[in-house]
Amino acid sequence: MTAPDPDVTVVTVTYDAEGLVRTCLDSLGAQRLDGLRMQVVVVDNASRDATARVVADEYPEVRLVRAPRNLGFAAGNNLALRDVRSRYVVLVNNDAVVAPDAVRALVRALDDAPDDVAAMAATVLLAARFRAAGPDEQDAAGVVHGPDGRWVPDPEGAVRLVNSTGNEVRTDGFGQDRGWLADHARHAPGPDVFGFSGAAAVLRTSALRDVGLFDESFFMYYEDTDLSWRLRLAGYRVEHCPGAVVEHVHAASAGEGSDFFRFHDARNRLALLTKDATARTALRALARYVVTTASLAVRRRRWDLVRTRVRALASYGCMLPGLLRERRRVGRAARVPRARVEDLLVPATRGYTYRS
């Protein structure tokens, strides 16, 4: 007798992360599902360590998909998403720990939402704990500067800082995590948010069938914002589910200050805007990128950043013919004008970062 399809499929993509994936899968195994049927799928991006063996030997209930090479976040997720038979899909980063009621909360919230809500972002918290910085610690190395104050990492600290309650896009074309480094106890955003974060979210499978999966040319970074933007153009909405909490070891898989991050972040932001934004927004972002790169060379002589930005621009140029084809395809399928979607963009204000 054929087993019934699951209600929700949880997908996590991993690469060289044996320890991280254990912790993630243990948290998924401890879910309180209240009768929901859940299938967990791990896509291993041809890890060089023992990740695939650990999943196969220690988690036999998990479906393991072995990629032939490192496909990145976008294509790695697509390997699993193409075969999903459940009505919902939950995406979880391999460096995340999922609270015991989080999957159930996401599914029930989407059950109760209108049909035009295609995705719900979880509440993603930084795994680290913090305490308020003292008067003599305000500018110390390692202090975190957020919208509610400055915080010192402290394993015994009681403060939890937000990683994301969904993705926003600024009017200058930069994407950002909503609530980044806010005190979780004070962060109370509205339910509507521009997009979901791939770190932890639930999506309607039917909406994915409608607009398509992740753009695999992005490899990683901005692919979740691109998919969110396409959902918005198709008339769908994205909301936040405050009761679904996930802890995230931020940038554990790829360091945020690395050359790898800077390259993909810069290139994919230009690619995203070329595909999805109005022509004015895309061209202004491209012009600003060129001017900023020139300024880094002439005024600041930051040759390391200049080289990375030039490589990103060259790669973007190689992608451009395909991006323009995608732009036409997305435009033909759109049910909402690009300009109306851009009404959802937030002002370009200074972001908050870790101090080092």
pLDDT tens sequence across 251-269: 545 556 689 999 999 999 9
Predicted local distance difference test score (pLDDT) of residue 258: 85
Q: What is the mean pLDDT of residues 69-98?
A: 96
CB 236 within 8 A of CB 341: no
Helices 223-233 and 259-276, packing angle to 10 deg: 10
| pLDDT for position 142 | 85
Q: What is the dihedral of CA 121, 123, 128, 132, to 10 degrees?
A: 130
Task: Name the least confident of 89-103, 155-169, 249-263, 273-287.
Answer: 249-263
173/285 Cα distance (integer angstroms) = 6
Strand, helix or coil at 82? coil
Compute φ and ψ for 292, nearest 5 degrees.
Answer: -65, -40
* Structure token pair of residue 194: 């521009």
Task: Using the predicted structure, report yes or no on whether residue 349 has a pLDDT greater than 90.
Answer: no
What is the predicted pLDDT for the residue at 356? 26
The residue to which tokens 């950002």 are assigned: 176
**CA gap 335, 120 in Å, rounded:** 21
State the helix-helix crossing angle for 303-333 and 223-233, rounded to 10 degrees: 30
Structure tokens at 182: 């806010």
pTM, rounded to two decimals: 0.94
**Residue ranges with strand state E in 182-319:** 200-204, 237-248
Residue 18's Cα: distance from chain center in Å?
A: 21
- pLDDT (mean) for 326-338: 97
Position 274 pLDDT exceeds 80: yes
What's the confidence (pLDDT) of residue 304?
83
Q: How far apart are CA 93 and CA 200, in angstroms?
A: 7
- Between strands 88-92 and 8-14, the pairing is parallel
What local confidence, expressed as pLDDT, does residue 350 receive?
A: 53
* Bridge partners (DSSP) listed for residue 245: 123
- Give the confidence band of 1 by pLDDT, cuts at 50, 70, 90: low
- Which pLDDT score is estimated for 354? 37
CA–CA dist 25, 101 (Å, integer): 14
- Name the maximum alpha-carbon separation found in the chain: 70
Give the model's pLDDT for residue 8: 98
Q: What is the pLDDT of residues 297-326, one digit of tens each?
A: 887 778 788 999 999 999 999 999 999 999
Instruction: Give the three-state DSSP class for 308.
Output: helix
For range 67-81, the mean pLDDT: 96
Higher pLDDT, 197 or 249: 197
Sign of CA dihedral 236, 351, 256, 14: negative
| Residue 39 main-chain phi, psi, to 5 deg | -115, 135
Do the beta carbons of residue 349 and residue 301 sit within 8 Å? no
Flag whether pLDDT at 89 surpasses 70: yes
> 60 in helix, strand or coil?
coil
Average model confidence (pLDDT) across the chain: 93
CA count, 13 A, side-chain hemisphere, 262: 13
* Residue 301: per-residue pLDDT: 75
Give the ranges where 169-215 is alpha helix by DSSP (H): 205-211
According to the model, what pLDDT value does residue 298 have? 83
Does residue 97 or residue 348 have the better pLDDT? 97
pLDDT of residue 351: 52
What pLDDT is attached to residue 255?
A: 53
Angle value at C-alpha 320, between 318 and 322, nearest 5 degrees: 100
CA triple 196-202-204, angle to 5 deg: 105
Positive or negative, the CA dihedral 342, 346, 350, 355 is: negative
pLDDT value at 97 more than 90: yes
User: For residue 225, is pLDDT > 60?
Assistant: yes
Contact (Cβ atoms closer than 8 angstroms) between residue 241 and residue 203: no
Please determine, for residue 215, whether its predicted confidence score (pLDDT) is greater than 80.
yes
* % pLDDT > 70, the chain: 95
Task: State residue 302's pLDDT score.
Answer: 80
Bridge partners for 240 per DSSP? 121
